[in-house]
């Protein structure tokens, strides 16, 4: 049985990714920052997939001082080694959205927190996973990136910088790890429907990025399908990007319907 480790999978897009891999027969490991939410998610997944092997772990990218908690990542992988569990597929879904980290207004620590979570922590996870994949003859690492890696959005300077950095990391890893048959790829979603849509319906009703050429934004399931494609159906593909944004990034400006 193949094992996938999915970060940030107690809510939203991460849930859809867990469901996709569980329904395809993978053993699914996932992370979240609060043990209560991890246990609740585990219970919910087991109710939907009673026969699947699904286990959650508490993992925070950051220590209390804001630095990356490298030891926690190493401890998780050592624990899995002890149980003879090999993570063949790593899905880097968790992200600090960097909301509220505005230019001129915030301390530098707000910026580095986002970069540490979205870039440095993902490097640490990739390195630990790749070390084992190298020994086992290969594996797959998938970043859930963003179309903001190419097109900036306002008041999200740290997030946009981190997603651009993540793509550079993806390419560098794909180059260095190819010789070990480790494939590294990225899914670039545009706007995804999440619980934030229910909490703020007026904002999302009018947000320009919802007016895509296809007329729809992505669901978590659209993103999960693209992630699964890289994991299971893209044997000779590495360093690649798959944009899942309804065609948004090919427009010069959104086609907002006239009222």
Q: Which of 28, 32, 98, 115 binds ligand NAP (CB under 6 A)?
A: 32
Which CB atom, from 8 or from 246, has the smaller least distance to ligand NAP?
Answer: 8
Which CB atom, from 62 or from 173, has the smaller least distance to ligand NAP?
Answer: 62
Q: How far is the CB of 135 from ligand NAP (least distance, A)?
A: 26
Q: How far is the CB of 78 from ligand NAP (least distance, A)?
A: 19
**Which of these ranges, 12-20, 43-51, 132-140, 247-255, lies near ligand NAP under the rule CB under 6 A?**
12-20
Q: Would you give the binding string for ligand NAP spanning residues 92-111, x where CB under 6 A is met?
A: -xxxxx--------------
Q: How far is the CB of 144 from ligand NAP (least distance, A)?
A: 4
Residue ranges in 121-150 that form contacts with ligand NAP under rule CB under 6 A: 144, 146
Which CB atom, from 34 or from 67, has the smaller least distance to ligand NAP?
Answer: 34
Which CB atom, from 97 or from 249, has the smaller least distance to ligand NAP?
Answer: 97
Q: How far is the CB of 130 from ligand NAP (least distance, A)?
A: 19
Residue ranges in 197-236 that form contacts with ligand NAP under rule CB under 6 A: none
Q: CA quadruple 218, 17, 148, 234: dihedral positive or negative?
A: negative
- Is residue 24 within the footprint of ligand NAP (CB under 6 A)? no
205 vs 2: CA distance, rounded Å: 40
Q: How far is the CB of 104 from ligand NAP (least distance, A)?
A: 24
Q: How far is the CB of 62 from ligand NAP (least distance, A)?
A: 5
Question: Which candidate, 89, 95, 120, 93, places its Cα nearest to that of 183?
Answer: 89
243 vs 118: CA distance, rounded Å: 18
Q: What is the 3 state secondary structure string of the chain? A: CCEEEECCCCCHHHHHHHHHHHHCCCEEEEEECCHHHHHHHHHHHHHHCCCCCEEEEECCCECCCCCECHHHHHHHHHHHHHCCCCCCEEEECCCCCCCCCCCCCCCHHHHHHHHHHHHHHHHHHHHHHHHHHHHHCCEEEEEECCHHHCCCCCCCHHHHHHHHHHHHHHHHHHHHHHHHCEEEEEEEECCECCHHHHHCHHHHHHCHHHCCCCCCCECHHHHHHHHHHHHHCCCCCCCCEEEECCCHHHCCCCCCCCC
Q: Which of 4, 6, 8, 210 binds ligand NAP (CB under 6 A)?
A: 8
Q: How far is the CB of 148 from ligand NAP (least distance, A)?
A: 7
Residues that bind ligand NAP (CB under 6 A): 8, 10-14, 32-34, 37, 60-62, 93-97, 117, 144, 146, 189, 191-192, 194
């Amino acid at each position: 049985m193949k094992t996938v480790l999915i970060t940030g999978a107690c809510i939203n897009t991460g849930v859809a990714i867990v469901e996709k891999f569980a329904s395809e027969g993978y053993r699914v490991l996932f992370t979240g920052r609060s043990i209560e939410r991890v246990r609740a998610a585990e219970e919910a997944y087991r109710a939907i997939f009673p026969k699947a092997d699904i286990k959650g772990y508490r993992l925070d990218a950051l220590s209390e001082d804001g630095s990356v908690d490298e030891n926690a990542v190493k401890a998780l992988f050592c624990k899995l080694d002890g149980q003879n569990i090999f993570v063949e597929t790593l899905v880097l879904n968790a992200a600090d959205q960097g909301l509220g980290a505005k230019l001129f207004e915030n301390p530098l620590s707000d910026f580095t927190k986002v970069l540490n979570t979205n870039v440095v922590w993902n490097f640490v996870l990739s390195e630990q996973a790749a070390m084992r994949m190298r020994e086992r003859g290969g594996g797959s690492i998938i970043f859930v990136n963003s179309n903001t890696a190419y097109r900036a959005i306002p008041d999200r300077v740290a997030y946009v910088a981190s997603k651009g950095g993540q793509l550079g990391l993806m390419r560098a890893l794909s180059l260095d790890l190819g010789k070990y048959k480790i494939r590294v790829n990225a899914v670039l979603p545009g706007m995804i429907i999440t619980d934030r849509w229910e909490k703020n319906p007026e904002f999302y009703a009018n947000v320009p990025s919802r007016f895509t050429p296809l007329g729809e934004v992505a669901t978590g399931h659209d993103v999960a399908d693209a992630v699964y494609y890289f994991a299971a159906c893209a044997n000779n593909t590495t360093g690649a990007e798959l944009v899942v944004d309804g065609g948004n990034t090919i427009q010069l400006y959104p086609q907002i319907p006239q009222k």
